[in-house]
Amino acid sequence: MRLIERYLFRQLLGPTLLATLALVALALLARSLSEFDVLIEQRQSGMVFLKIIALALPQLLSMILPIALFVATLVALNRLHTEQEIVVCFAGGMSRWRVISPAMRLAVFATLLSLVMSLWAAPWSSRAIRETFFDIKSDLASTLVRPGEFTEPGPGLTVYAQTIDRDQIIHNLFIHQEKANGGAVTYTAREGVIAERKGLPVLVLRKGSNQEFSSSGVLQYLSWDEYTFDLSSLFQSDELLHYKIGDRYPHELFFPDLTQEWEQQNREKLLSEGHWRLASPLYNLAMMSMAVAAVIGGSFSRMGYGRRIAMVGAAAALVQIVGFGVKAACDNDVWLNPLQYAVPLAAIWWGLRQIFRQKVSRYIAIGAHDALQPLGAP
C-alpha cells in the first residue's frame, strides 16, 4: 500500500477495533448476566464462570464483526469526507478503487478471521462450553444439596441443608431415605462433606444420628461422631454428552454419519449449518461495501450524508434479517442453501455498483478546490 492508502487504512482500523471492543463488551456483559446462575444456583467457582464467558467470545465475535465494520466504516469515512480528505484524494488523481481499497482490504481480513472462527474456533468453544455444563450437571455437591431447600436428587431420597460455606462444608444436614421394603431411615448431622472413598463418591456426616423405621414399625436410633453415606448408587447415570448442531465441525456437518438415527433425522439442518458457516463471513464484505457506498457511492454534498447513511443502514439491517430468515428456511429444504450465499453476494454487488456507477463529478472537483484554497483566498 502507498502512503495515502496506509493512512486511510489506519483511519478505518482504529474505529473498527473500538467498535468491536465496545460491542463485544456489551455482548459479554449480557452473556454473563444470563449465566450468573452458575455462581448462584450451581455454586461453581469464579474461574468456571469466567471460563464459560471467555469461551463464548468466538461465537460472539463472528456475529459482531460485520456490525462493527459497518458502524466504524460509516463513522470514519463520513469524518474523512466531511473534512475534505476523500475529496483531496480524488482531486489528486486517485481512482475510486484506490480510495476504497484500504476499506476492502480490512473487510477481507475480517472475512478470513470470521471464516477461521466459524469453521474451527466457534465449534471448539461451543463444545468446551457444553462439556463444562455437563461437568456442572454431574457435580455431586450442586446436585445433592441446595442451601435452604428440600431437594430430591434420587428416587426415595430427600435432602435438606441449612448452609454451605466456602470450604464446601454442609451445615445442619437432614437426609430422609425410603427403602424398598417399606421402611425409612432419617439422618441428621451437624455438618457433612462430599468426599471420595476407594474411587466412589460418599457423603461424610459428622456429629449426628439416624432413626430407622422398619417395615414392622420398629424404631432404631443410633448416634455417632462420623458416618459415611454411600452416594455411588444414587448418582449412577447412563447419560452421555451429546454435541448439538452448533458444536459440530465442518466435516461432521457436510458428511454426517448416516448410520446414526439422530444424524439421519437432522441431515438437512446439519447441511444448512455447514453452508451458513461458509456464507456468514461474506457479510463482512457485504457490510463494508454498503458502508462505503453510503458515503462515496453518491454525489458530493456539502450538507453531509445523514439521509443516505440512514437509508443504507436500514438496507444493511434488512440484509441481515433476510440472511437469518434464509438460514431458517434452509433447515427444512437443502435446495435453498445457495440462497445463503446469494444474499451477501447480492449486497456486495449492490454496494460496489453504487460506488462505481458514476465517475468523480465536477462537484468533487469544486469541493477539492475549496478545500485546497489557502485561508482568506478568494
Average pLDDT over residues 244-256: 92
Helical axes 3-34 vs 96-116, angle rounded to 10°: 30
- Dihedral of alpha carbons 242, 244, 246, 250, sign: positive
Average pLDDT over residues 270-295: 96
Statement: residue 345 has pLDDT above 90:
yes
Grid cell for residue 256: 454426517
Q: How many CB atoms lie within 10 A of CB 241?
A: 13
The pLDDT value given to residue 279: 96
Statement: residue 360 has pLDDT above 60:
no
Which residue's C-alpha cell is 442453501? 337
- Nearest to 293, CA basis, from 354, 244, 229, 203: 354
- Angstrom distance (rounded) from CA 293 to CA 306: 13
Q: Are 66 and 284 in contact (CB under 8 A)?
A: yes
Statement: residue 235 has pLDDT above 70:
no
Statement: residue 198 has pLDDT above 90:
no
Phi, psi of 154 (to 5 degrees): -155, 165
The pLDDT value given to residue 40: 67
- Angstrom distance (rounded) from CA 69 to CA 77: 12
Statement: residue 183 has pLDDT above 90:
no
Degrees, nearest 5: CA angle 304-306-309: 120
Least confident of 15-19, 135-139, 211-215, 305-309: 135-139
The pLDDT value given to residue 362: 43
Average pLDDT over residues 341-365: 80
In 3-state terms, what secondary structure has residue 223? Answer: strand
Name residues whose C-beta falls within 8 Å of residue 21's C-beta, 6 or more positions apart in sequence.
Answer: none
Q: What is the pLDDT of residues 21-74, one digit of tens each?
A: 999 999 999 888 888 877 766 667 778 889 999 999 999 999 999 999 999 999
Phi, psi of 176 (to 5 degrees): -120, 125
Statement: residue 359 has pLDDT above 80:
no
Q: Are 295 and 100 in contact (CB under 8 A)?
A: no
The pLDDT value given to residue 318: 97
The pLDDT value given to residue 236: 54
Name residues whose C-beta falls within 8 Å of residue 262's C-beta, 6 or more positions apart in sequence.
Answer: 242
- Nearest to 4, CA basis, from 86, 106, 105, 104: 86
- Angstrom distance (rounded) from CA 31 to CA 46: 15
Statement: residue 4 has pLDDT above 60:
yes
In 3-state terms, what secondary structure has residue 161? Answer: strand
Name residues whose C-beta falls within 8 Å of residue 320's C-beta, 6 or more positions apart in sequence.
Answer: 66, 283
The pLDDT value given to residue 266: 93
- Nearest to 164, CA basis, from 191, 135, 138: 191
Residue 42 carries which DSSP code?
S
The pLDDT value given to residue 162: 87
Statement: residue 323 has pLDDT above 90:
yes
